[in-house]
Structure 1
Amino acid sequence: MFEIVKKSVYTGLGLASLTKDKIAKFAADMSREAQLSEEEGRRLREELEVKAEESKEQLGEQIDQRIDQALVQVGLVKAGVKRVADRTSDTFQQFVDKRVDAALERLGVARKEDIASLLQRIELLESKVSVPTVVEQVG
């Protein structure tokens, strides 16, 4: 009897990994040891097959969940690293921009904003002063 209980425990633990042939052999051994009728043995085998299939599905679901959790964790780690890299890149870019602006100012080189401002001022002055065109002068 102890042997049957021991096999039942092992069956519960390893049911997901058993093949159909192993289940049939195990059911036949259990039927013989427990002196089950042919009908009871057949029902035992069918029940073990159903339980084995359920165990395989549950194991598969657990594996999928763990894989999903691991991927989420890796994704979070990647997202965190990306945020730090972006911040570092922004900080570095600001540092470089300040240094370049300071160097251009020391050299007396006009920046794009300076040129744009001058162009606006020129357009404003031109609109205030009417400069006759060549056609107006000839006419």
Structure 2
Amino acid sequence: MNRFLVLFGIMLVISVGMIATATMQADFSLMDSKSTPLWLAAVAVAAYVAWRIDGVLKRRERRQDASVGEGRSFLKPKVSPAQSARAARVAARRKKLVAEGKLEAEPEPAAELESDDDEAPATRVSQAAPIKDRMAARAERVRQAKEQGKL
């Protein structure tokens, strides 16, 4: 409620200021009894805009609180409940099939990464390296790919 009142006050000042500048250009006084609808319009606009902004900020806070509870970060994509339930079912089914011997267990991904790291420094160079070095590294990668039957 405090945020709404602060926003309302700010919006009221802005809307009254805009109406005052418009009435000054039209040689009209805001203190005249004919300007009552202008005052009501300023208050109504300020209240509506403050209410909308407050609602957006509340929704953003709720979403942020929910994502913090899930351990979600900026870089981690949001996973829907249906998607996470399906992933849990697939993992349980996979574990069951591995236990029954109908499916082989997947190899450790860390072992594959280590073997790639050994080859990577020899075939990769910095983008800041001279063009000759980059082309030589590319030629080496192509040669290795041909040896492995990838090309």
Taking structure 2 as the reference length, the TM-score comes to 0.34
Taking structure 1 as the reference length, the TM-score comes to 0.36
Richer in helix (by share): 1
